[in-house]
């Protein structure tokens, strides 16, 4: 509507102007040397207007020509930047895929196109790291001098040091990386990994957040602690992280006994037997008693904390067998079988009573991450390396360990 109106107004104005020019009276005489031009005023006005338009177009063309080299250079720069960005992207993918050759090619291309950019330096260093080239170290060191990408430099140095087994250096670089970028979780995990490799479980505990990892690290640190008070504090940390973990409860009872708190240790074991009966707890409960008959009586007291549980029946059967009470041993071993014991322990007691060779035991532990069975407890799974993933193998518990 408005467009049509504007068109009508413009057409009317042009028509009026043309009418006015056509109606201009008189003529124009131009003399230039031998030439003498005589024309009407209207034609002269039109010729002047056409000349002005041609002049304006000419000037515009000249300006464009003058700016052409600058525009060409800008276009070329843009094309180079785009090609450089593409090389960087391809290099990132090659690094992520672990393709050393591809990463090196793209790093060289990006370097030629973009020059000394921090990301190009990082890509070159990562490519060198993937190829096992010593230049990687120098590249990462150069990155640590740039405040914007310092983290990437220290991260690369920490990884290199960890890979080559220089654990102190790896820990130092991981700390520097954390200082360069405190909000991220990578440096913390790296420091945790280094501390576990150094078997510095107390330092690892300070860095771990996950409850099962904290339990396992606290138990391992308590076993390392030289002072009884320190061991007790660490064992309490373990129980705090996982109150129903037999590993943590056994560590606490052991630490309490080590610190001369025998009554507290016995309370912990009784409480532990109620929450999570486990051969480790029974072993600690019976440790101060040597006489077989007295051990069978002590076992009854512990089993009374969780009557009818498969572990209680196995404990009673085992101690009765040692005390030469075959009737009691058979009754409890059969009760354990009825309660679902399938790992061979109840069957072994019955076999011994009948003078037969015992069946093989199932491994006592199993990793809940990779499901690998293990005969002994470890702070981290020997198969997958995860911390605190070994759990009692409920399908089969082997005889107690110390
Ligand atoms: Zn595992």
Tell me the CA distances in angstroms from 81 to 72, 124, 126, 212, 320, one per residue in order: 14, 18, 21, 49, 82
For 326: left if phi > 0, alpha if psi spans -120 to 50, otherwise beta; the answer is alpha
**According to the model, what pLDDT value does residue 46 have?**
83
**Residue 374, strand partner residues:** 365
**According to the model, what pLDDT value does residue 49 have?**
86
Q: 367 pLDDT exceeds 70?
A: yes
**According to the model, what pLDDT value does residue 350 have?**
95
Strand pairing report for 390-392 and 365-367: antiparallel
**According to the model, what pLDDT value does residue 402 have?**
34
Compute, in angstroms, the gap from residue 393 CA to the centroid of ligand 1: 13
Compute, in angstroms, the gap from residue 23 CA to the centroid of ligand 1: 102
pLDDT band for position 332 (50/70/90)? very high
Select from 3.40.1000, 1.10.3470, 1.25.40, 1.10.357 the CATH code of 277-356: 1.25.40
* Other C-beta atoms lying within 10 Å of the C-beta of residue 30: 10
**Residue 392, strand partner residues:** 365
What residue ranges do the domains of the chain occupy?
220-276, 277-356, 362-402
Counting other chains too, the contacts that 29-32 makes at CB distance below 8 Å and 24 or more residues apart are none
Compute, in angstroms, the gap from residue 366 CA to the centroid of ligand 1: 8
Compute, in angstroms, the gap from residue 378 CA to the centroid of ligand 1: 10
Q: 400 pLDDT exceeds 60?
A: no
Average pLDDT score, the chain:
91
pLDDT band for position 107 (50/70/90)? very high
Compute, in angstroms, the gap from residue 260 CA to the centroid of ligand 1: 36
What mean pLDDT is predicted for residues 151-161?
92
The 10s digit of each residue's pLDDT in 14-52 is 888 878 877 878 788 888 778 888 888 888 888 888 999
Residue with tokens 């060198």: 128
391: helix, coil or strand?
A: strand
Q: For residues 254 and 281, is the Cβ–Cβ distance under 8 A?
A: no
Q: 355 pLDDT exceeds 60?
A: yes
What mean pLDDT is predicted for residues 150-156?
93
Q: For residues 352 and 358, is the Cβ–Cβ distance under 8 A?
A: yes
Q: 396 pLDDT exceeds 80?
A: no
Strand pairing report for 27-32 and 35-40: antiparallel
Counting other chains too, the contacts that 234-240 makes at CB distance below 8 Å and 24 or more residues apart are 234/202, 234/205, 237/205, 238/214
**According to the model, what pLDDT value does residue 79 have?**
94
- Please tell me the distance from the alpha carbon of residue 16 to that of residue 42, in angstroms, as a whole number: 14
- Please tell me the distance from the alpha carbon of residue 238 to that of residue 377, in angstroms, as a whole number: 15
**According to the model, what pLDDT value does residue 346 have?**
94
Compute, in angstroms, the gap from residue 363 CA to the centroid of ligand 1: 14
The 10s digit of each residue's pLDDT in 228-258 is 999 999 999 999 999 999 999 999 999 999 9
Compute, in angstroms, the gap from residue 285 CA to the centroid of ligand 1: 30
**According to the model, what pLDDT value does residue 398 have?**
40
The 10s digit of each residue's pLDDT in 45-64 is 888 889 999 999 999 988 88
- Please tell me the distance from the alpha carbon of residue 117 to that of residue 106, in angstroms, as a whole number: 14
Helix (H) or strand (E) holding 143: helix 135-144
Q: For residues 115 and 103, is the Cβ–Cβ distance under 8 A?
A: no
Q: Which of 269, 311, 306 is nearest to 288 (CA)?
A: 269
The 10s digit of each residue's pLDDT in 274-308 is 999 999 999 999 999 999 999 999 999 999 999 99
- Minimum mean pLDDT range among 85-94, 128-137, 217-226: 128-137
């Amino acid at each position: 509507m408005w467009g049509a109106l504007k068109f009508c107004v413009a057409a009317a104005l042009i028509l009026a102007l043309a009418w006015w020019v056509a109606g201009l009276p008189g003529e124009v005489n131009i003399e230039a040397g031998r030439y003498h031009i005589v024309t009407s005023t209207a034609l002269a006005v039109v010729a002047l207007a056409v000349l002005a338009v041609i002049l304006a177009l000419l000037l515009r063309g000249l300006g464009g020509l003058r700016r052409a080299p600058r525009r060409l250079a800008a276009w070329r720069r843009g094309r180079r930047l785009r090609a450089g960005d593409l090389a960087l992207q391809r290099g990132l993918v090659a690094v992520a895929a672990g393709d050393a050759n591809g990463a090196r090619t793209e790093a060289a291309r990006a370097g030629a196109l973009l020059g000394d950019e921090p990301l190009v330096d990082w890509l070159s260093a990562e490519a060198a790291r993937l190829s096992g080239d010593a230049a990687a170290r120098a590249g990462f060191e150069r990155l640590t001098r740039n405040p914007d990408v310092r983290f990437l430099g220290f991260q690369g140095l920490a990884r290199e040091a960890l890979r080559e087994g220089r654990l102190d250096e790896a820990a130092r670089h991981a700390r520097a990386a954390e200082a360069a970028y405190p909000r991220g979780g990578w440096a913390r995990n790296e420091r945790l990994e280094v501390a576990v490799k150094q078997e510095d479980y107390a330092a690892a505990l300070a860095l771990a957040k996950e409850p099962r990892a904290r339990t396992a690290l606290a138990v391992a640190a308590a076993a390392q602690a030289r002072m009884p008070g320190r061991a007790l504090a660490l064992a309490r940390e373990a129980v705090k992280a996982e109150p129903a973990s037999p590993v943590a409860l056994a560590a606490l009872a052991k630490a309490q006994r080590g610190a001369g708190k025998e009554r507290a240790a016995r309370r912990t074991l009784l409480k532990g037997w109620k929450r999570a009966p486990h051969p480790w707890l029974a072993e600690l409960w019976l440790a101060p008693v040597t006489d077989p008959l007295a051990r069978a009586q002590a076992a009854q007291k512990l089993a009374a904390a969780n009557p009818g549980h498969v572990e209680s029946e196995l404990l009673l059967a085992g101690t009765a067998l040692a005390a030469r009470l075959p009737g009691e041993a058979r009754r409890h071993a059969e009760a354990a079988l009825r309660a679902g014991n399938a790992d061979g322990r109840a069957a072994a007691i019955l076999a011994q009573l009948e003078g037969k060779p015992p069946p093989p035991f199932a491994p006592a532990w199993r990793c809940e991450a990779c499901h690998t069975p293990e005969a002994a407890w470890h702070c981290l799974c020997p198969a997958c390396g995860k911390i605190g993933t070994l759990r009692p193998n409920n399908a089969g518990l082997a005889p107690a360990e110390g």
